[in-house]
Amino acid sequence: MTSLRSFLYRPEAGAILSLLAVTAFFVIFGGVDLATLLGAASWVNFAANLGIVAIPVGLLMIAGELDISIGAMIPAGSMATAILSGYYGLPIVVGMLGALALGALVGLVNGLLTVRTSVPSLIITLGTLVAMQGIVLSASVLLTGSASVAVTAPDWAKFLFGQLIGGSHQVTIVWWVIIAVAFAFVVHSTRYGNWIFAMGGDKVSARNAGIPTQRITIALFVLSATCAAFVGMCQAIQFNSAQVSGGMGYIFNAIVSVVVGGVLLTGGFGSVVGIFFGTITFAVVSQGIYFTDIDRNWSNLIIGAMLLIAVAMNETFRKMALSYTGKKKGAH
């Protein structure tokens, strides 16, 4: 009983319970074979690409900020790789580093504008989103004369970033797990994680306590944009081409995954494990409906209902956790 109570007080509790509820719903009401659903590559591949983006976005939300420029950074990373290594024929390493450097640069701009001005990060990243869309399209047409560029990666790059494992599962699944484990360690086992939570709780108090809030904010924006560019880079290598369109859906999908994962929009509460399971839950809902007898037109309704329920559950679990923490302090 004590272990169950401790689980319910954790930020990821809502995400795990939501995943179980969604799976049960599909099995009971959708006629899905559980083994078929669990073994399907479609939702896992979808979750991996989304999860690499969702984790740093979630950390920004925990810190009280938001980055929607990821919608432009995914095609930007893809096009940078294709233009440098496909159109100009430079080594694939140059294209990959160019994509990651572009992500880091845009993230740096987002971070600097956020800490140096009083403009909300939502508005700042909306500006960079629109600006990068225009830059990517204009640069592609100007340099290559086309909005689509082909690129052929060598075998080692395919193996590391564009391979299909078992014929259907993308290698980005491995990168997603590695990134999740690395971020989970940093956030939940080092002082940097404590600083991120403190910033989300009260940024002014965190700054007065000596926490380098500006540096942490800039670093989080750099991570967010770079991870988005990384996903675009992997897609270019896997599909042997890049296009200026695409990526906008990641904005909504990432935010929903993060919220379902137990992160509050107001900041200061959440976990990497929760974001991980929130992404899986969203992927199962988005892709799992194709394995059911349910009309596809109901998918958006299910996603919307899931989001509303997740928000309510997250607030409930947060209050329970705060109450439990207060009782423990009182006991001491």
Q: For domain 11-320, give the CATH number.
A: 1.10.3470
User: What pLDDT sits at residue 139?
Assistant: 93
> Cα 67 vs. chain centroid, distance in angstroms?
10
Q: Which two three-digit tokens encode residue 257?
A: 């995954």
Which are the contacts of 32, defined by CB distance < 8 A and separation ≥ 6? 26, 288, 291, 292
User: What pLDDT sits at residue 302?
Assistant: 76
Assess contact for 104 and 225: CB atoms under 8 A.
Answer: yes
Q: Which two three-digit tokens encode residue 188?
A: 């939940």
Cα–Cα–Cα angle for 171, 277, 319, nearest 5°? 155
Domain spans of the chain, in order of start: 11-320
User: Of all helices (H) and strands (E), which one includes residue 164?
Assistant: strand 164-165
User: What pLDDT sits at residue 55?
Assistant: 97
Token look-up 């991120």 returns: 196
For the chain, the 3-state helix, strand and coil shares in percent, each to the nearest 5, are 75, 5, 20
pLDDT means over runs of 10, the chain (332 residues): 66 80 81 78 92 97 95 96 96 97 97 95 96 94 92 94 87 96 94 94 91 96 97 95 89 91 84 93 84 74 75 69 53 46
Token look-up 């060598």 returns: 154
User: What pLDDT sits at residue 4?
Assistant: 66
